[in-house]
Structure 1
Amino acid sequence: MPRFPLTVTLVLVSLTLIGWLLVVGRALLLPFVIAILVWYLINALAAAIRAIPLGPYRLPPVVALPAALAVIFGVSTMVVDIVTANLTELARDAPVYQARLEALVATYSEKLGLENPLELRDLVPDNALNRAIAAGANAITTIAGSASLVFIYVLFLLLEQKTFDRKMLRLFTSPERAEIAFKVRERIAVALRHYLGIKTAVSVLTGVLTHVLLTVLGLPYAALFGFIAFLLNYIPTIGSLTAVIFPSLLALVYFDNLTPFLIISLGLGTIQFSIGNLLEPRLMGTSLNMSGLVIMLSLAFWGSIWGVTGMVLCVPLTVMVLIICAQFPASRPIAVLLSADGDVGEPIAMTSGANGANGAKEAGGTP
């Protein structure tokens, strides 16, 4: 019994220290976490490129990996350029839209016969639009500023990935423990491949449909709102709502009548609902097995620590914690609480030491 309070105290102290380190080391950790994600995507794309049939041949890894690297960084550069140009144009036109919104609020206050007419500052904080644009510009500037550091991290990860398995094998005192570690890593990799693959596909579809709808209706900054819809689709629940609000508000002040505003609001809402509540659940299934409440709590936790980047990464990070906690008796109750139905599967069992060592040596070191 005396050991129980000591164990609880040590756990609480450890969690507090980890949280403090995550906050203090944000500037160092975020570029590295982004680099790991990019490294993972490059390897996944390289595997997809190698799978493309070229008659009886397949592209060798020495060709597929640089091709995937070029595609990832080429697309990233193009997206950053387009978004930066749109944000610059929006910042220039922001005072005009704010004046139109103030006039619209005053007009409807007069039509409703309110004794105390509403003002824009009663609905939203002063300069909210300018602050939102400034926050977006700052995020783009931060990403662009850390791009070189991310690129260096990714380059070293690609160069050293063949040695990861050998290093990991030597971290453990026995081949059996190493085998369990490799199997846990494989479970995490399978779960992340499933989640990121489906989430990226539906996010691209959401962004493209948003861009097409806004372009057809003549709303400016369609490319920017399409990218915002793509990015925010990674953020559970609130991301989809935010992706509808921004273009709808702009449509309200940009057009002279309410018809385009209603079409854009209903159209974007239909896109988000159809993809987020009908298509994505059918594709995703129950493989993640995560509680909805836990997803919202992890969204708040990682968002408070790492901002928008933490919100985007909250589901993958929580999936990793769930899988790892499920393998150890002491932490298994945590995995049960994080899961949707309490079924976290059986812990990975040891097999023969030879099999574990051979499996580790045969692995390629990639996710």
Structure 2
Amino acid sequence: MKHTPLPEDTTDRRFELARVQTAALVIIAFAVVLFLLVQARFILISLAVAIILFSLTADIISFIARQRIGPVRIPNWIASIVALLLIGAALLSVTSIIAAQVNTILQITLAYAERAPDAIAALFAWAGADTQAAVLNSMRTIELSGYLRGAAGGATSLTQGTVLVILFVGFLFAERVWFQTKLLNFTGSPAQAVRVGRIISSIIHRVNYYLLVKTGISLVTGAMTWGLARAFGMEVAMPLGVITFVLNFIPNVGSIVATGLVALAAYVQFGDPWLTGVIFAIAGGIQFVNGSIIDPMLMGRALRLSSFGILLSLAFWGAVWGVPGMFLSVPIMVMLLVVCSHVQALRPIAILLSREGLPESEGLLDRDTARDLR
């Protein structure tokens, strides 16, 4: 019996139907993943932070495990326990410091909230008394109590998240011993396992380098902001320094917000537009030099990320996970860039995410990652 071919229009209809079904499945899958990201945000944020901390300390554990006490080498499990205790102590210390600073900032905010409406309304005095009165009435309608309660609640959840992060890091240390065996069994090929291991190593090195450089630059920027505020006799020098340090981890937007907060605090305290302008210019100069000149020089080619892609990642993860998502947006984007660079079907995404449209090549996996960071 002869096979009768389908009419051309029927084939085209089936092809279009398959495309529509594929697009619908992609949209449904994206919606489900987005729903899970939002609903499990607390656990996922804690897990992401734990993975970053684990990657930062993995090399330290290997270094400790290579040391000898006389003829005896330190076992890997002892090195992991020591590292976990150090991480736990450091996290709890940092959490207590941040909680104390949050309480200080809340008290200062309450004190400044009484003076802020009059100070901001005075900026519109040139537009007439009616405009100034309208701005003053609008500012007085803003209720800060809700925001302050949210900040206090965030400090409480920070402590809970710290405990969860320590638990996650402990489990990751426990699984570290069997990682290579699992990777080999998962890929089913020694060569493929080595390749996947190199990709993971590339991600870890680039994220670690970004965090170390960003921490150093943020420390310098926060210290310089604190020195600027102290030099002009501002009452909130230490909180401004701490806030500047924290906000500098948020790409692009964080430095702008930090500079605006310094200027706003100066105007509320002094009420002098010219002095506020000088403080604003100096604070902006500090952010520009550290963020736009020194930062790119130290980062080198380690983070060949598109500026527009960083903004999109910042907006997406900020909408999904809030402020913690903004802090994690760049490490997540680095991970996506490296993974997409080595998966042929996803390489167009890596081209869009990279700065010059030149994502990481396969040959870079065989090179020392430190050479690419310079």
TM-score (norm 2): 0.79
Contact 2:105 2:239 in 1 (8 A): no
Per-residue Cα deviation, 1:137-191 (whole angstroms, up to 9, x for no partner): 3322211122222111112222331211211111122223222211211221222
Contact 1:105 1:119 in 2 (8 A): no
Structure 1 equivalent of residue 342 of structure 2? 327
How big is each residue's C-alpha offset from its partner over 1:307-337, in whole Å with a ceiling of 9 and x where there is no partner? 1111111111111112112222222212112
- Aligned to 1:204, what secondary structure does the other structure show? helix
Going from structure 1 to structure 2, the CA distance change for 1:83 and 1:5 (only over 3 Å counts) comes to same
Q: Take 1:145 and 1:350, find their aligned partners in 2: how far apart are those partners?
A: 38
Confirm whether residue 199 of structure 1 aligns to residue 220 of structure 2: no
1:357 corresponds to which residue?
Answer: none
The equivalent residue for 2:41 is 26
CA contact under 8 A between 2:121 and 2:136: conserved in structure 1? no
Query: 1:313 and 1:349, CA in 2 relative to 1: closer, same or farther beyond 3 A?
Result: closer
Aligned to 2:98: 83
Counterpart-to-counterpart distance in 1, 2:150 and 2:62:
36
Which amino acid in 1 is paired with 2:109?
A
Please tell me whether residue 265 in structure 1 is matched to residue 265 in structure 2.
Answer: no
Q: Aligned partners of 1:42 and 1:350: how far apart in 2?
A: 21
- In the alignment, the residues of structure 2 paired with residue 71 and residue 224 of structure 1 have an alpha-carbon distance, to the nearest angstrom, of 27
Gaps of 5+ in 2: 1-11, 68-72, 367-374
Aligned pairs for 1:1-367 (under 5 A) are: 2=15, 6-44=21-59, 69=84, 72-110=87-125, 113-120=128-135, 126-127=141-142, 129-255=144-270, 257-258=272-273, 261-347=276-362
Mark the CA change 1:201 to 1:157 in structure 2 (over 3 Å): closer, same or farther.
same
Distance 1:242 1:71, change over 3 A: farther
The amino acid across from 1:25 in the alignment is A
In terms of mean alpha carbon deviation, does 10-19 or 33-42 score higher?
10-19
Q: What do the CA deviations read for 1:30-57 (whole angstroms, capped 9, x no partner)?
A: 21112112222333555788999xxxxx
Name the residue aligned to 2:5. none
Distance 2:62 2:217 in 1: 20
1:240/1:272 contact within 8 Å kept? yes
Change (3 A) 1:260 1:333: same
Q: Which amino acid aligns with 1:318?
A: M
Superposed displacement of residue 194, structure 1: 2.3
Q: Which has the larger radius of gyration?
A: 2
Mapped to 1, the partners of 2:270 and 2:353 lie a distance apart of: 46
8 A contact 1:83–1:224 mirrored in 2: no
CA contact (8 A) 1:199 1:234 kept: yes
Alignment partners' CA distance in 2, 1:325 and 1:79: 35
Q: Which moved more, 1:165-174 or 1:88-97?
A: 88-97
Assess, with a 3 A threshold, how the Cα gap between structure 1 residues 281 and 50 changes in structure 2: closer, same or farther. Answer: farther
Q: CA deviation at 1:301?
A: 0.5
Question: In the alignment, residue 207 of structure 1 is paired with which amino acid?
Answer: G
Alignment partners' CA distance in 1, 2:43 and 2:164: 10
C-alpha deviations, 1:84-122, integer Å up to 9, x for none?
A: 333324433434422222233454545653443244567
Is the Cα–Cα contact under 8 Å of residues 97 and 253 in structure 1 kept in the other structure?
Answer: yes
Confirm or deny: 8 A CA contact 1:42 1:69 kept in the other structure: no
Which moves more between the two structures, 37-46 or 299-308?
A: 37-46
Supply the distance in 2 between the matched residues of 1:277 and 1:30 (Cα, whole angstroms). 28
For structure 1, the 5+ residue unaligned runs are 53-57, 352-367
Counterpart secondary structure, 1:28: helix
The one-letter amino acid paired with 1:165 is Q
State the structure with bigger RCO (CA 8 A, min sep 6), 1 or 2: 1
How far apart in 1 are the matches of 2:84 and 2:316? Answer: 32
Give the structure 2 partner of residue 363 of structure 1: none
The answer (yes or no) to whether the contact 2:305–2:355 under 8 Å persists in 1 is yes
Q: Report percent identity of matched pairs.
A: 31
Q: Distance in 2 between matches of 1:64 and 1:236?
A: 34
Count of aligned pairs: 346
Cα gap change, 1:29 to 1:274, in 2 (>3 Å) = same
1:283: Cα distance to partner? Answer: 0.9
Is the 8 Å Cα contact of residues 91 and 130 (structure 1) preserved in structure 2?
Answer: no
Give the corresponding residue for 2:369: none
Q: 1:26 Cα shift?
A: 1.1
Distance 1:345 1:86, change over 3 A: closer
- The two structures have a TM-score, normalised by structure 1, of 0.81
Give the AA of the match of 1:212.
G
Q: Is 1:104–1:253's contact at 8 Å kept on the other side of the alignment?
A: yes
The structure-2 alpha-carbon separation of the partners of 1:128 and 1:120, relative to structure 1 and needing over 3 Å to count, comes to: farther
Q: What displacement does 1:24 show?
A: 1.8
Q: CA 1:51–1:116 in 2, change beyond 3 Å: closer, same or farther?
A: farther
**Structure 2 Cα separation of the partners of residues 130 and 243 of structure 1:** 22
